[in-house]
Every structure is written in structure tokens, then in C-alpha cells.
Chain A
Amino acid sequence: MFDGPSVAAAFRAAGITHVLWVPDSQLGRWDSALRSDPQLRLVRVCREGEAIAVAGGLLLGGARPIVLMQCTGLFEAGDALRNIVHDLRLPLFLVVDVRSWRAYTLGKTTDTCPLFTEPIMRAWQIPYVLFEPDRHTPADLAEEYRRAWAERRAGAVLLPE
């Protein structure tokens, strides 16, 4: 269950120091838990590309950030993603909420977000795992983060909405 307290606990367990985000309706439910956690610093930014740049600076400075965004923000943030992951070669980690995914799999939406999210991740060469909400847990997210960090590579978890 991806509720705020469980996610905050998973982030702590993964050694994450800073959480950067532009919330959406699914991720936004974590706001209270993330804001009140004494071990996590929640950094609110104005756009998703900016979140990636701030995370880049944090990584250069020795911190362990994570960036949370909706897939629409991912689409906006391509240049920052390209630069931080491929020019600066920093181990950026993203959690991307895939808007309308469940409705898409049932053929019940015309939202184009699910159509483009995975191809965009592949185009930017970001290793990712598409979570299944009924199977994966915040602990799995923490494990994906730890694995990417240990391998000093970028990574992402896609969270279906």
C-alpha cells in the first residue's frame, strides 16, 4: 500500500535525504507524511525539469535525493533529464506516476499519458520498473533505489494510477 507513512519509511530506509517534487493527485497524498518526517527534506519546485536540476546539484554535493513527478512532468523535463543523467552521469532516481494507466489497460480512457510514458523512458535510456499496485510495495521502491545507488546509475519506478 503506497500511503504516505509507508512511503516515508521506505525513503528513510533507503537513505534518501531530500525529496523533490511537483505533486499530482496520487503522489500528493504523501504530502503530510513527507513534510512531517524529520529525516527527509521535502523540496517543492515549480516544474519537473527544475526538480531534476536540483537533484543533480544535491548528488554533486553528496546528498541522496529522489524526484517524484507525474508522467506529464516527465514529458516536460526531457532536457534536464538528458543533461543530468547523460552529460553529468549522475545517479538520478525518479518515481513517475503514470496517469490513467489502469483505465488505459481496460480501454476506458482517451488519455495519451500511458501511451507515451514507457517509450519516453526508453528513449532517454533510463532503466525503469513498472510497478503493479497490487503486488509491489514501498519496500520494493526502496530496494530499487538502493540497487540503482549501489550500481551508481540512474533509475526509475513507474507507479500506475
Chain B
Amino acid sequence: MPMTHAQALEVLAEHRGRRLVITTMGSVGIWAQLSDTPLDFAYMPSAMGHAPGLGLGLALAQPQRGVIVVNGDGCTLMNLGALVTLADNPAPLTLVIIDNGMYEVTGGQPTPAAGRVDFAAIARGAGVERVFRFATVAEWRAGAAAALAEPGPTVIVLQVEGRLGQTTPKPPRSMPEQIERLRQALSEARAD
């Protein structure tokens, strides 16, 4: 039974702990239903393909915090070099790649080589040592705790069903509000 995008993120929400979670594109709307704390950052509007970079910067600046970036397969393809950068700059970062084989929010067009791209193999080839791939929700539920046990760098590929008829989601609040909330939460954590 294929995993749905929502199921994939539900399991992630159960295991994210106190990590900061950055979502992009199709994950933004789903994640907002699961968690809406100051440590949930909907990267929208974004720079195409650059959520892993933003997450790496946060993880380098806040090494005690831990960061999870939830990226799409299309976004990942836009900047595959980011996998090399993650491997070369050890930081408490987990990159979750939601692989549905399509550009969901633009009408479901297939991504290049959809179904043939092996993101886990690419991540390993880029030098990331902790790489996981799950194709069913049962596998993901069974493996999530172990996959998220270490600070990172870690890459987790979740193969999910594509959803047709999606539109670009709206972030739960404006970017200035998100940044203010995030900064406040990070400064409070530093004061703890």
C-alpha cells in the first residue's frame, strides 16, 4: 500500500522532538495541520531548491537545536549539489525528501526521470553516511525512530503517492511574523 504525503508527515511529526522543521511547497499545507509552533517554519515564499541551504545555515548557527528540512523531489532536483554541501559541512540537519515523482503544485507534471531517480543512492554518492529510504507507511513507522535518532547529517527519502489537483499552499502566517516567532523561540531556548 503506497504511503500518502499526509501519512509521511504524520509519522515525522511524532518523531521530530524539539527540532526546528522547515517545510516547502506541497508539505506546507499538510504540516500546518500537524504542527504550528514557532519552531515550524513554512519556507514560502522560497528560493527555488534552497531549503536545504537555509536549514544548513540554521543548523550551523544553532548546533544544539537540530533542524529538519522537508523538501520535495522537484526542489531537490533543482539543487542536487546541496547534498554534497550537507555531507561536507557536518551539522545537526535531517533532510527529508518527499518523492512523489511530480511537480504537485503546478498541476502534477512529472519531474525529470520520475520513478527512476534514486535519491538515496545520490545522497550516499554525495558523501552522506546516514541515508534511509521508506516506501510504505509501515516501514516508515518502524524505522522513523532510528532514522531520526542521530543529529545528522541524515537524508530520509519517503516515497509517497502523488496528488493531482493541488494548488500552491498558503503559509499559515506572513514571513515577517514567522521570522519574529522563530527568532524569539531561539533566543528563549538560548536563555534556558
Contact = CB atoms under 8 A, between A and B. Distances in A.
B122 interface: no
B186 A65 contact: no
A80 B50 contact: yes
Contact of A63 (B46, B52, B61): B61
Contact of B57 (A46, A59, A87, A89): A59
B48 A57 contact: no
A9 to B, nearest CB: 22
Contacts of B49: 49
B6 interface: no
B21 to A, nearest CB: 14
B85 interface: yes
Nearest to A44: B88
A56 B57 contact: yes
A109 interface: no
A45 B53 contact: yes
B85 A62 contact: no
A61 B186 contact: yes
Given A53-B50, A62-B186, A79-B47, A46 B179 contact: no
Given A79-B47, A87-B45, A89-B176, A50 B60 contact: no
Given A79-B47, A87-B45, A57 B88 contact: no
Nearest to A65: B57
A41 B55 CA distance: 17
A62 B54 contact: no
> Which are the 6 A-B pairs with shortest beta-carbon distances?
A57-B57, A61-B61, A46-B81, A53-B53, A53-B50, A83-B47
Interface of B: 45-62, 79, 81-82, 84-85, 88-89, 175-176, 179, 182-183, 186-187, 190
15 contacts: A43-B85, A46-B85, A49-B53, A49-B79, A50-B85, A51-B53, A54-B54, A57-B57, A57-B58, A58-B61, A60-B57, A61-B62, A62-B62, A63-B60, A65-B57
Given A50-B79, A53-B51, 12 more contacts: A50-B50, A50-B85, A52-B53, A54-B54, A57-B54, A57-B60, A60-B58, A62-B190, A79-B48, A80-B50, A83-B45, A87-B45
